[in-house]
Amino acid sequence: MDHRLIELLVCPICKGPLQMLRNDEGVGVELMCRADRLAFPIRDGIPVMLEAEARTVEAAPPPASPLAANP
């Protein structure tokens, strides 16, 4: 998928930026919206930007505080 095209696409729900998720071979498989925690599939090189087709992405745990590591 063309990198310039990805830069033009936004989340259809919040209009926020999308991040490309790649498989082990480096091929883009989903476009993820961090704000809505949704991942939109890419099928045959075409992003499917429908909320009904998106999967929910688990929220990443917050980064550990450097102060908490040194009591």
What residue segments make up the domains of the chain, in order of their start? 3-58
Distance CA 33, CA 43 (A): 17
Give the pLDDT confidence score for residue 45 in this predicted structure: 87
pTM: 0.76
**Residue that has been written with the tokens 């991942």 in this structure:** 39
Q: What is the mean pLDDT, run by run of 10 residues, along the chain of 71 residues? A: 78 94 91 95 93 88 56 52
> The domain 3-58 is classified under which CATH number: 3.40.50.300, 2.20.25.10, 2.60.40.1260, 3.90.550.10?
2.20.25.10
